Structure 1
């Protein structure tokens, strides 16, 4: 039995009016772990559990760790999550709430990830937060669900951190005969590793993550995500932290759902960057969610 749920597909009247075109939301913010991550991570954890692994280790800025912890609890397998020092207190509390161990190491996800890799043994499965074909196949189910509901769309808008969501959406489009559908990949300034790679024509490493959207905090995008920009229609858009936060607060008013700035970056294209959508009539936005920011934190960022 999958650990994720089939999430609602909603036409958003507020976002449609703001953008001047039809905006549909795949509401993965409503997944039990709070984000889309449980689709792929749940699939990977089930795969490794069936293979006899007795422990899961992951590295995360928040949402992937929460998803691994949730999956481990559901599968009765212990979990250790290595997080960087920038991880919010809320994210750490949610990981611990699922019964997992939290180990804090390093100033960035890369450093936490290196420490996690050193903690492996033959009985332990490493659950990568974004760079694993098992994850992409799991994430692709969101497109399967949209297609099954009969929605036609001419673009997909999604947020990019390491590139796992984009890789999964591309797989989902391909297996439903929709390879031609363009993707608008959104990042925040200070975490835009995909935009930097597309500009340079090769993967590059950001010197640091300076965005508040720490869930997008991969200093280098995955090789698979970069390859996809070279082989299919992908447009990069970078928004400010402030724009992402404003979108989160407007979305809370409009849809009564709290998401973090990593998701707000996508929503911002309807609220404040509708020119980026000018070529499209019906847009599918992945409301990827995120459980690592509280309302108080969003309000504090907004007031800063």
Structure 2
């Protein structure tokens, strides 16, 4: 498929809406995931993250046998759109985090491999937006693309290691903020945004305080959460900070004092990497727990 057609296809997919068995390589599109299918092997299915209400698109380099698509519990997906060489899935709200669904696709030309299997695992907040699936040998151009992307990933890892090393060696307190360059002449700005935000935390969790902070290099959100009577303790596992345009900030850490017990208020801090220009406007913060489906969603979070 020509590159221009592929770009149009990607636009269509997005506008319309992890154990790995098969070999994976850098994709031709930044942010997408690429899976290579070997012709003479039958590997275990690749695991793909899906989420209720979020679209996951599959791009194949071969035409699909539409009547050969098998999706476990298909009725629990609000959208299953099968194209000539594409597949778009949107799980419904009836899908719970942690559930898995088996997906099998078959190819029209009958060549080996004749099919591909995937394991769709539901996540409370994240979904893989695009997965590229290729059969057979790759061209020299794809190897060149892999080399370029591997080099870019290496540079990114080196920068991350340097940052972590600098943080590890830096002193604590204000001295540490100064030594890591997190402070400028404005220092760290803070703002209480409890009355401004919209809380969606279910019926077992309550946010009694929300504060936002901004430094030279990043932002942070401080929460005081309470578990109501009759509910189990709650511990945060991960977080997502997303702007109105759909861009996510890079979450550096999620810190919690200890599991939140019934009737107790505990502090949780979410820190993200964000230069001043990247943290403008309102953001949505979503937290999910260590084990279980309970989430905390806070919208209209703004930073000083």
TM-score interval, smaller chain: under 0.3
Higher strand share: 2
Structure whose residues are more often helix by fraction: 1
What TM-score results when the alignment is normalised by the length of structure 1?
Answer: 0.28
Bigger Rg over Cα: 2
Normalising by structure 2, report the TM-score: 0.28
Q: Which has the higher contact order (CA 8 A, sep 6+)?
A: 1
